[in-house]
Amino acid sequence: MRIRNFVVKTTGSIFDEFRQLICGHVVRSKFPKVDLKFITSQAFKSEFTEYFNLPLNTIEISDIVSTKYHYDPKNQDTLLNNLVAFEGESDDCIEYFIYEPTANEFKRADMNIFAFIKEKKKFLSELKENIHDYVTPQLTMLFEDRKINVGLLYDTELTTEVYSQCNKPDIFNYVDFTSANTIESKPYINKYSIKDEFLLFIALCNCDMIIGSWDQISYEAIALRNMMLLDVSRNSTKVETLIPSQTVFNQTTWFPNSQLLLEFII
């Protein structure tokens, strides 16, 4: 199918929409001459523009229905794999191809995982460069240049397991984004509560590694710098992700770093 515009109609929570936006940019890299547009919720638009100075390129359904468009949720994944950019003038062209994700992560079949990670990193780097200046000052106090910055994000019942792995303050700077109000503490673990998902995502992007339990916010942050995410859940997390995971000593990890693993597991 030859198209002029690839439109991603995001669904779900605000962060679900954010994940789908990222993958929309990744998929579009396969046909760069096609314009990329999004149909999103107003809540997502407001939240996104509060933190990022990057055009969203949104479009309304009312702008599409009067043109030649294609919307076929049942067959959209098959069609996605065969989309090509159309150039010139002809009646044999779809103006808008609308894709409504059924999962927060998606890619074309002809894109291998290395290309997926590369394009995801490329977009996340652009996103980070376009964070509004007024956002980052409140986060700079959390991190130390002379240490490995470790973000802690986990289910609260895992507090003991997570804290037991945080015992080398001379090497690591631990920032706990989960248990700001709990009694359990260590003098060298800094607690910082962030309720907003986008701000938490930005904070995690400044870490060197993340430990805790799998979370979609931490998962999206790791692709920026191939940052290791170590899941210390009791029975190891079972979650399907496009970025492959590995199991090391019954613990799940993404982007495993052997040196860091030796510090935290052995």
pLDDT-based confidence at 116, cuts 50/70/90? very high
Query: For 137-265, which CATH class?
Result: alpha beta
Helix axes 14-28, 113-129, angle to 10 degrees: 120
Q: How far apart are CA 173 and CA 175, in angstroms?
A: 7
Model pTM score: 0.92
Q: What are the CB-based long-range contacts (under 8 Å, 24+) for 102-105?
A: 102/73, 104/12, 104/16, 104/19, 104/20, 104/23, 104/216, 105/19, 105/23, 105/241, 105/242
Cα-Cα-Cα-Cα dihedral sign, residues 94, 99, 105, 110: negative
The per-residue pLDDT for 138 is 84
186-206 pLDDT, tens digit per residue, is 889 999 989 899 999 999 999
Q: How far apart are CA 220 and CA 224, in angstroms?
A: 8
91-97-242 Cα angle (round to 5): 145
34-72 pLDDT, tens digit per residue, is 999 999 999 999 999 999 999 999 999 989 988 899 999
CB 78, CB 1: distance < 8 Å? no
Q: Where are the domains of the chain?
A: 2-129, 137-265
Overall average pLDDT of the 74-79 stretch = 94
The per-residue pLDDT for 86 is 80
Q: Which two tokens stand for residue 157?
A: 């019942």
Asked if pLDDT for residue 102 goes beyond 60, the answer is: yes
Q: How many helices (H) and strands (E) does the chain have?
A: 9, 12
**What DSSP element (H or E) covers 21?**
helix 14-28
Comparing 128 with 235, the larger pLDDT belongs to 128
